[in-house]
Amino acid sequence: MPSPKVKNPGRSGGSPVLGSSNGRYEFLSLTKPLNRSSSPHLQRQGSDPTTARLRVSESPTRRRGSSSSTGSASGPPEEDTLRLNPSFIRVALSSLLAIDLWTSKRLGVCACEDSSWGSMRPLMKLVEISGHGIPWLAGTAYCLYKSDSAAGQEVMLNLLMGLVLDLVLVAIVKAVVRRRRPAHNRMDMFATFSVDCYSFPSGHATRAAMCGRFLLTHLVLAAPLRVLVLLWSCLVGLSRVLLGRHNVTDVMFGFWMGYCQYNLVEMLWLSPQTLQTLLGQLA
């Protein structure tokens, strides 16, 4: 009978049990490198290189690294990302243009006699003539000729300059933009010129905004007359859409352009003395 003090040779290294074969347990030291040939169990587990590669590829760290590298490789380059902004702006502008055309067509209720508000067409055409450039130029020149005061001549002179400036600027913008008039428009306008076949901006709207602001600033008018001037300016712009002459954006830009034209007239303001000096230099 063996003595209990005799230790098992396999336990002298204090190694944990790794496996058993026929009732015999095998031990390995923790301080020594793993010898796969000494354990048939480990040899069966680690001898297949394909299995080892699969385990490495299925590890969480490997999966996270591969997913991040795949995402970075498949992500769009910086150049492609920068190209998204122009396309988005193009889509937004196309959508706004479609809304503008649809709204203008719906509001063109006086475009012809057969329209829903066709009976109002003669009245709208009268408003159209009231905002035309020829009546304003002729009326301003007549008032300048008949005025007997220096202040009145100064006001009429600068109003005439503003009207000429409005005609020139609107003609330039129309020739540059070349936007066609709405399809439902009838070309029966009063005294048209070559650039009047284009729609953007509305010359009536620019003239109404500029003249309305000019009259409200430089003429002493009672409160009812001031309200009438404002209503007239708005009605001229509205008539352009109701008659089908312009789109909504043409009139809105025309109002803004006419408002800015008045500021330009104030910057270029001519006094009678300045005019006499210029005429003297030219003579």
d(CA 204, CA 166): 10
DSSP states along 32-101: S---GGG-HHHHHHHS-HHHHHHHHHTSHHHHHHHHHHHHHHHSPPHHHHHTHHHHHHHHHHHHHHHHHH
Active centre residues (catalytic): 204, 246
- 25 - beta bridge partners? 20
The amino acid sitting at 84 is L
Would you say 236 and 133 are in contact if contact means Cβ atoms under 8 Å apart? Answer: no
Cα end-to-end distance, the chain, whole Å: 146
For residue 182, report the phi and psi dihedrals to the nearest 5 degrees.
-55, 150
**Backbone dihedral region of 23: left (phi > 0), alpha (psi from -120 to 50 degrees) or beta?**
left
DSSP states along 228-260: HHHHHHHHHHHHHHHTTSS-HHHHHHHHHHHHH
The pair of three-digit structure tokens given for residue 185, joined into one six-digit string: 């428009």
- 20 - beta bridge partners? 25
